[in-house]
Amino acid sequence: MHGRCALIIGGSISGLLAAHLLRSIGWDAIVFERNATNLTGRGAGISTQIQFVDILRRIDIPFDDSMGIHVGTLICLDRSGGIVRKEPTARTMSAWSRLYGALLDRLPTEKYRLDMQFERFEQNDDGVTAIFSDGSRVRGDLLVGADGVRSCVREQLLPQLQPNYAGYIAWRAMIDESAVPEKIRAEVFDLYTFCLPEGELFLGYPVPGRNNETKIGHRAYNIVWYRPTDPATGLVDLCTDATGRCHGTAIPPPLIRDEVIADIKATARALVAPQAAKIFERSARPFFQPIFDLESPQIVFGRAVLLGDAAFVARPHVGAGVTKAALDASSLADALSTAGDDLDAGLARYQREQLSFGRALVALGREEGAYLSAQLKPREQRTGEELHRDFDRVVGMHNARTGKIQQLIAGRRADV
Ligand SMILES: Cc1cc2nc3c(=O)[nH]c(=O)nc-3n(C[C@H](O)[C@H](O)[C@H](O)COP(=O)(O)OP(=O)(O)OC[C@H]3O[C@@H](n4cnc5c(N)ncnc54)[C@H](O)[C@@H]3O)c2cc1C
């Protein structure tokens, strides 16, 4: 196994985790990212799971207080701003750019190649050749597709497979702590806050701020607001820019029309607790992401594998995208290390472990998102649970998640 090299397509969280974990078992790994500059500017809050923290430790990245903000209380606010529920929770909220920066800093710069748009690959018994849009060809022993939900690697391997739109979008916003009015900051900033407008789900919580600061006064507030949106009418309109061009099912955030932004802020004032609406309104450019899930029937294809969101996407309710990326990468490294020279056996083991885990995680996300998806059905066709959300069930599923993921991991090992 000595001297093997993995070509990793996609330089985000999955790609970097795969590079570190493969390097930890003695492989060489080179990451190819299509963006010309590094991705540090991406701003989104990320909830983390204990299993993710364990894998970071394995690659010598301590998950200390600079990595995230601990949140110990969960509340639910009603439309008038009253607290209808308050209970303890234990969550650590990090920021995408903080995790990305920690992973990137520890990778030798020559192993992270920007401005490398992967186009296709060829393989034979000896290995793989990745071919890039500038015509360059790079030879390796294994190709790792870590290029996200719209993966080009997967497109070549499973051209028929498309992500499923879940029937709702997530509006997202990050607001500097200093921009949150003092009274509201004292009332809700440190808490994990739910608002439950009919048919929707609004979440707010503190995350590291600009430059990934976790000190009080320098943090940020992250909002994720799930709203059912008809694909044929609502989503098409939201994805149409000011020139009238429709961008399909997702639009780059800077192109979201001003009137769409004004409208969502007015809707926040009408539907969610005033404290939450006031914070949301302070965001200059909230943006939205349509929610998809994706289930690959296969993740190993000779010397090419899929990993992270390229392989499976669970709806974000499970808050486990980066955890799954880490588990995929550690499963791949462990399987290859255990199999020694028998690369095929190692890859087969990776597929057995992570295929069942990915499927189970997607199912968990669908279960948590079922109420939101059902809102596109005519009212008379909805079941009792789809018409009336039980608050205990929403919070119960949220709180039980880490335990459920632990059970899925245990189940994954039992399958092998
Ligand atoms: C609304 C929302 C909320 C979320 N909240 C959470 C959360 O709280 N906790 C959590 O753990 N996860 C969350 N996630 C999911 C999480 O962000 C991802 O699962 C995780 O970051 C892993 O992504 P990835 O690295 O596999 O793919 P991506 O981050 O999509 O990265 C793919 C990379 O591949 C590159 N690429 C694509 N095509 C090519 C090509 N042809 N050539 C070269 N490079 C290419 C892209 O530029 C990109 O950098 C959320 C997702 C959404 C949509």
pLDDT at 43: 65
pTM for the whole structure: 0.92
Question: Which residues lie closer than 8 Å to 380 by C-beta, 6 or more apart?
Answer: none
Distance separating alpha carbons of residues 180 and 60, to the nearest angstrom? 36
Query: Is the CB–ligand 1 distance for residue 290 below 6 Å?
Result: no
pLDDT at 129: 98
pLDDT digits (tens), the chain, 416 positions: 558 999 999 999 999 999 999 999 999 999 999 999 988 877 678 888 888 999 999 999 988 888 899 999 999 999 999 999 999 988 889 989 889 999 999 999 999 999 999 999 999 988 999 999 999 999 999 999 999 999 999 999 999 999 999 999 999 999 999 999 999 999 999 999 999 999 999 999 999 998 888 999 999 999 999 999 999 999 999 999 999 999 999 899 999 999 999 999 999 999 999 999 999 999 989 999 999 999 999 999 999 999 999 999 999 998 889 999 999 999 999 999 999 999 999 999 999 999 999 999 999 999 999 999 999 999 899 988 888 887 787 888 777 877 888 788 777 755 54
CA angle 213, 216, 218 (to 5 degrees): 40
Q: 213-224: b or e for each residue (b if 16 or more CB lie within 10 Å)?
A: bbeeeebbbbbb
Q: Please identify, by atom number, the ligand 1 atom nearest to the C-alpha of residue 147.
A: 34
pLDDT at 390: 74
pLDDT at 245: 97
pLDDT at 48: 84
Give the pair of three-digit tokens for residue 60: 């010598």
Query: Is the CB–ligand 1 distance for residue 118 below 6 Å?
Result: yes
Distance separating alpha carbons of residues 193 and 202, to the nearest angstrom? 8
pLDDT at 416: 47
Terminal-to-terminal C-alpha distance of the chain: 22
pLDDT at 136: 98
pLDDT at 392: 81
Query: Is the CB–ligand 1 distance for residue 311 below 6 Å?
Result: no
Query: Is the CB–ligand 1 distance for residue 31 below 6 Å?
Result: no
Please tell me the distance between residue 322's alpha carbon and the centre of ligand 1 in angstroms. 8
Question: Which residues lie closer than 8 Å to 330 by C-beta, 6 or more apart?
Answer: 21, 55, 58
User: Which residue, among 354, 219, 228, 369, has the nearest Cα to 299 in the 3D structure?
Assistant: 354
CB 116 within 8 A of CB 132: yes
CB 71 within 8 A of CB 206: yes
Give the pair of three-digit tokens for residue 171: 């509006």
Question: In this structure, are strands 5-9 and 142-145 parallel, antiparallel, or unpaired?
Answer: parallel
Q: Please identify, by atom number, the ligand 1 atom nearest to the C-alpha of residue 310.
A: 26
Distance separating alpha carbons of residues 9 and 131, to the nearest angstrom? 11
CB 327 within 8 A of CB 333: no
Report the SS3 class of residue 361.
helix
CB 408 within 8 A of CB 400: no
Question: In this structure, are strands 127-132 and 118-124 parallel, antiparallel, or unpaired?
Answer: antiparallel
**What is the full DSSP assignment across 56-84?**
HHHTT----TTTEEEEEEEEEE-TTS-EE
